[in-house]
Amino acid sequence: MAGKTDTEVVIAGNAMTLSGYESEEYLQKIAFYINNKIAEYGKVESFRRQSVDKQHILLELNIADDYFKAKEQVSLYEEEVQTKEKEIYDLKHELIAAQIKLENMEKSLRSAQSDLQESSKQIVRLETQLRDHKTQD
């Protein structure tokens, strides 16, 4: 397991240390996300008129909403991946079946060509025998 990371970040103008087992870049990304949410809502007049406690609750609700929407999107993508994997699996089996059918057809073709050659040789022999028989008469 990777060691614990401590990194200094600034959130809402306050410097603080974030700690975790993630990379420093990841922890900075989290702080950036929070700062963007604060800035986004800070532009809304009705938000600014709320008490600080209500502002925090609204930010938390919005972040939770983002989380659940992202989680739902992941579920949809996972379902799509499973569907695509099944389609790929089915296509691979169809390909294998088609390859087997092609190999069997090629064997049949080679057999038919061999039979044709034998029949052609037989025709030549019979024609030769017929010619020889006619010349003897």
Q: Mind listing the pLDDT tens digit for each residue in 4-55?
A: 999 999 999 999 999 999 999 999 999 999 999 999 999 999 999 999 999 9
Cα 37 from Cα 41, distance rounded (Å): 6
Cα 66 from Cα 70, distance rounded (Å): 6
Does 7 reside within a domain?
yes
Q: Is the pLDDT of residue 99 over 80?
A: yes
* Residue 27 burial (CB count, 10 A): 19
Does 94 reside within a domain?
no
What is the domain extent for residue 11? 1-49
The number of domains in the chain is 1
Does 88 reside within a domain?
no
- For position 1, what pLDDT does the model report? 59
